[in-house]
Structure 1
Amino acid sequence: MHRNDPAPRAPIAFDDFLKLDIRVGTIRAVEPFPEAHKPAFKLTIDFGPLGVKRSSAQITRHYTPESLVGRQVAAVVNFPPRQIGRFMSEVLTLGFPDANGEVVLVMPERPVPDGGKLF
């Protein structure tokens, strides 16, 4: 199924949802990622007690590096790290597609403590 496909997926058990560890963190640094296949940034995200993690994110359409530093984002922190070129992405930063399929980040509506778990 394509990530922009609006069709719902089959139901899962609540226990399956609980296996996902989705946390909030503050973006501390953003670097260009010119060697990525699609335009992307390398994010350094502070998850408080979980530490600092890195993520590759295809978010260049709506965001600049300057606009991202200091913002809080949601990410899945318990997937295995994924090698993307020479970069190791440690978390999956979450977003929704806009009408054109470009990523809009998932962010809390007000500041919350870094490392907080989504429930």
Structure 2
Amino acid sequence: MNSNLLWRAGSCYAAVGIMAGAFGAHGLKSRGIAPESIASFQTASHYTVFNGLALLLLSLHPRFSVHRFAGPAIAAGTFLFSGSIFALVLNRDRFKFLGPVTPMGGLLMIAGYVSMAL
């Protein structure tokens, strides 16, 4: 993954996270979603924004913008973690198979960050 792709992924994640946060704060209550689920949706939104910003910073770093594992792991982990939560909150019955995907996405994000420290 090159720095240009990391920059684009980070920009998209930041934008999606902000939009999801706004939808979670205003659109979910009218759909009769439980407050606990709305809180989960907000958590996923926050992680999407934070990791989007991290990818933007990563794309600017001379060493880590070309790291073979860190950027792709953070990007994929964010997609799996936040995406599975978004899907589960919006339609748990249809997407209940995604339940185990959430922690795998979280582990992938963690692995991406830890790989930069090694």
Q: What is the TM-score normalised by the length of structure 2?
A: 0.25
Specify which structure has the higher proportion of strand: 1
Q: What is the TM-score normalised by the length of structure 1?
A: 0.25
